[in-house]
Structure 1
């Protein structure tokens, strides 16, 4: 966003420097405004636990009371984010806008630029190409707006799952099945997202766990493109040409559901297979409920719940309140014993957010930031994990 400082920068004279100082002093600009354009926190930092009682600061001036969501595609996980954000916006009296960019990073950048020009107050964005969005998201942060992202920086509130732990929870369930139902032997397909460095630890956990079993062979370790059901279907069709008998498939729910479709199309699905995913998508939950489906587990990262929390913190930011800099989305292994409560939480994330015990089973919050300290935004791949 242009400022008096930006307009005067580069003139290279003592007079311009004196004039700039006078403008800053006379206008009463805060330190945060004077630091507009700061790179944020770029080195790995461990944040303290979020303090909800931290002092408030100034609300950002000149921005609209609005919340926008730039959504990369329509997979269930991201639709859940939309559901939570929309509910939070309604509850807090914010205008809500969703923009679907269909895996097009250039379109996402264009839409974010439009929202910046419209003085959006709060923005949440996802993209298959985080690096392409980075500079534009920084400009939104410099404008004073709230920016929330899911896994990659930059953001005033960055969400991440403890990725290694997420992968380990799923892998442990698969290993238990292999030992109990498959005699300790299995041919495994990993449908990865290793091309996104921020998600790579979950697949490291899968390899670490499975490689400890001498009877297990990983016959395919591949990243589908795009990361959708269709991408998983196409990739699994290719895998089955060389390896028609597969016992275990692990990955994100969307791609593993595509793999299940490919297995069924070829008549290669079996009740004793273990297909497991991450995200807790509705179709995966439906498969688990059947009991005789190859789909045995999904690790929930309850997107409506954290979407609602992001919307609430966006509204808090616009009121000048202190919010977390980072938030863990805690992995939960879905079973028949907890599916009913889980589905109730998906439908009504506001009730989860209002109940500290239920909320803390899904989310853990770190650090503090507000408009006045927005130069401390997260601009590194934050994780609460040391691995």
Structure 2
């Protein structure tokens, strides 16, 4: 059984899980974020700058960059992006360089979390704000309830299999199981699909690169062994690549179910096309949480308390709600300013500031529990 952190009453005190210099290394349940928490000392000797260390050019992270840019502009922070181009060694050098330059705030989408961890810990110890997209360590970790995210998509696929495919389907899962922090979403897909006796998972594989090209290459290989595929699930960027391969091989069909996670614009455009195999996208609204993390960076550098963790809530996009979603991601500032709309996308947990940065999260945080 999985329950959200807000439903748990017993909250372990951070001191119970601290290891000096290494942050909080064992899982704790964080209370809701308190925006009225006591202010702290402003970090000293750091540049009033926000830098996004971007892993690649997939649209999901471009959305993060856009949200960060708007927040930096609103708050008077210098802002720039450094791109690592799927090169983990380059990312380490980039973060080390930012530490040497005394950058005040870093947001990162890690390529290889274990190898990057020492560099991020040095940034935190030096007083910088570090926001991480999913893996630790960070002063603020952004995650989604990963099992729920995968379950929402898999249930949409299961409904399609029952109603459009007569209960039978050959399924491809394009996973990220090499990233343990995202693995629960694919566990949820397997859990849901195994309840359908007519479903066969013909491929369960992680593309070498998490981008459209990686999905295209992987799907081309799968089609050599399995020329007929009915369902493809994964991140939007790789599933869009799989769709490219299906169309190239003339094996795309209107009755197929291709579904992804991230709410990328190209996926949304496919949803609007009559007869497209692309049937669902689970939105994680990256410009909206990017904007929030940009504001946290500014608050941190001003001596304010910020969340230790934040959920981005999965939304299943449909023709009925796509228009409102597109308005929201186009104007993340307006969403953040409206508590009702903000709460429909984001949940915030814990408190941390420069004076309490020894409480940074250094474990794979999630609001979900088994």
| TM-score for the superposition, normalised by structure 1 | 0.90
* Aligned mates of 2:348, 2:362 — CA distance in 1: 17
Alpha-carbon displacement from aligned partner over 1:262-306 (angstroms, at most 9, x marks no partner): 000011000000000000011000000113100000000000000
Distance 2:64 2:163 in 1: 36
1:225 is aligned, of 202, 205, 208, to: 208
Instruction: Check conservation: 1:105, 1:129, Cα contact below 8 A.
Output: yes
Aligned match of 1:375: 358
Q: Which stretch shifts more, 119-128 or 375-384?
A: 119-128
CA distance in 1, matches of 2:27, 2:249: 47
For 2:207, what is the secondary structure of its paired residue? Answer: coil
Answer yes or no: is 1:134 the counterpart of 2:117: yes
Other-structure match for 1:165? 148
Alignment-derived partner of residue 122 in structure 1: 105
- Matched position secondary structure for 1:197: coil
Residue number in structure 2 paired with 1:24: none
Is residue 103 of structure 2 the alignment partner of residue 82 of structure 1?
Answer: no
State the 1:113 CA deviation.
1.1
Secondary structure of the structure 1 residue equivalent to 2:348: strand
Deviation at 1:211, TM superposition (A): 0.3
Aligned counterparts of 1:265 and 1:223: Cα–Cα separation in 2: 21
1:27 maps to none
SS in 1 for 2:137: coil
Q: Which residue, 155, 159, 184 being the options, matches 2:167?
A: 184
**Which one of 217, 242, 255 corresponds to residue 238 of structure 2?**
255
Match of 1:103, SS?
coil
C-alpha separation in 2, matches of 1:172 and 1:363? 22
CA distance 1:98–1:37, shift in 2 (3 Å):
farther
Aligned to 2:83: 100
Which residue number in structure 2 is paired with residue 16 of structure 1? none
1:270: which partner in 2?
Answer: 253
Q: CA deviation at 1:132?
A: 1.4
CA–CA separation in structure 1 for the residues paired with 2:97 and 2:111: 20
Displacement of 1:114 after TM fit?
Answer: 1.1
- Matched-pair contact (CA < 8 Å) for 1:36–1:142: no
Please state if 1:352 is matched with 2:335: yes
Root-mean-square deviation (Å):
1.1
Partner of 1:316: 299
The residue number in structure 2 matching 1:198 is 181
Aligned pairs (5 A) from 1:6-155 = 38-155=21-138
Contact 1:298–1:333, Cα closer than 8 Å, also in 2: yes
2:154 and 2:189 in contact (8 A); partners too: yes
Residue pair 2:232, 2:257 contacting (<8 A) in 1 also: yes
Partner SS for 1:221:
strand
Contact 1:69 1:98 in 2 (8 A): yes
Instruction: Please give the per-residue CA displacement for 1:39-94, whole angstroms capped at 9, x wherever unaligned.
Output: 10000010001111111111101111110000000000000000000000000000
Decide whether aligned partners of structure 1 residues 176 and 36 sit closer, same or farther in structure 2, where only a CA change above 3 A counts: closer
Cα–Cα, structure 1 residues 162 and 36, in superposed 2: closer, same or farther, change >3 Å? Answer: closer
Shift of 1:210: 0.3
Question: Is contact 1:190–1:220 with CA below 8 Å preserved after alignment?
Answer: yes
SS of structure 2 residue aligned to 1:112: helix
Shift of 1:36: 12
TM-score by length of 2: 0.94
CA-to-aligned-CA distance 1:287-345 (integer Å, 9 cap, x gap): 00113100000000000000000000000000111110000010000011111111111
Distance 1:82 1:74 in 2: 10
Matched residue of 2:224: which SS? helix
Give the Cα separation in 2 of the matches to 1:270 and 1:119. Answer: 53
Gaps spanning 5+ residues in structure 2: where? Answer: 1-17
Give the unaligned 5+ runs of structure 1. 1-34
Residue from 245, 268, 272 that aligns with 1:289: 272
Cα distance in 1 for residues equivalent to 2:44 and 2:320 = 48
CA distance in 2, matches of 1:162, 1:225: 24
1:363 matched to 2:346? The reply is yes
